[in-house]
Amino acid sequence: MSRPTQAWLWWAVMMALTLAGAWLGLMGGSEGLDTEWRWSDPIVQDLRWPRTQGAWLAGALLGLAGAVAQGLFRNPLADPYLLGSASGAAFGVVVAITVMGGAALAPGLAWAQPWVWRLGLTGSAFVGAWAAVLLTLALARGAHHGLRLLLSGVVVGVVLGAVTSLWMVAAPQAWSQMQSFLLGSTAMIAMPSVLLMAGVLLPALGVALAMSRWLDGLRLGEDTARSLGLPMGLLHWVLVGVLALCTATSVAQAGLIAFVGLVAPHLVRAGHALSYRALLLRSVVMGGWLLGIADVLARICLAPRELPVGILTAVLGGAYLLWQLQRQTHGGMP
């Protein structure tokens, strides 16, 4: 089969799977799959439809961020959370919950209550994610050194994760509200969130596609790419910006969703040598589909109870990576 035919077949299959996932998203309710739903039903229009769109967009943002991270760091195990954005978002949320809980929880932060109320939990998560990325860049002394940036992100993530845990121990009232964020949930996504994520995804994808040829050159190594005349400083700054913006937006709206950003590019690359332009586009679609179908399964698996979608993606993503490792080991690969 020729390469153009394979590409068309891949897109046809993914379009069919995406439409099927959207259909199931409109059917999935608190009692499992509703086979007698109607579009005129307010539950479908106001709850299920925005949630279905939001899950796809959050997954698409993570898929794009994962592909960019793996290209930027030239590491197939890089994921969107490497710059500390997830830990920063969690810290922002726990601080916001504590401050909004009243001065009794945080007397020294009473002055921040008006600002936190304006931001809300979503805004606080976004601010926390960006603050963590900026701290990572400061520790790495810019975005020019990939390894230093990677290590700085790991350090910032670990430290902020520990600080968040300590804060939650000091303010146990925040545990219940933090649970849905830490485990990942699309239940509260409404149409404003859908519009926000779409407004971020489209320009971020456009910028990433414009940099795709540079990412192809970066595959050869930084020294080779620099010898070819690629502006490495600009490349790193732009890609870090795209990575941080996509990750912060997704985490702020859907919480911490594990493995989607890591697995989506892997599934796209399996058995295919792709240009980065194709990889970015396909990772967006694959990430959207993965989180969309995981959201449906989270709704119906334990109906009428709902399983946190982040737990489901962690189990499925971890199982996929273990299977890949087992397959490579038996295939004689290291």
Q: Is the pLDDT of residue 331 over 70?
A: no
DSSP string, 277-319: HHHHHHHHHHHHHHHHHHHHHHHHTTTTS---HHHHHHHHHHH
pLDDT reported for residue 97: 80
pLDDT at 20 over 90: yes
Q: Is the pLDDT assigned to residue 273 strictly greater than 90?
A: no
Q: In CATH, what number is assigned to the domain containing residue 13?
A: 1.10.3470.10
Tell whether the model's pLDDT for residue 130 goes beyond 80.
Answer: yes
Q: The tokens of 85 are what? A: 């954005």
Tokens 């910028």 map to which residue? 207
The boundaries of the domain holding residue 189 are: 3-330
Domain tally, the chain: 1
How far is it, in rounded angstroms, from Cα 70 to Cα 47?
A: 34
Task: Give pTM, 2 decimals.
Answer: 0.88
- Tens digit of pLDDT for each residue in 216-242? 877 777 666 666 666 777 788 888 889
Task: Report the distance separating Cα 114 and Cα 125, nearest Å.
Answer: 16
Average pLDDT over residues 142-159: 81
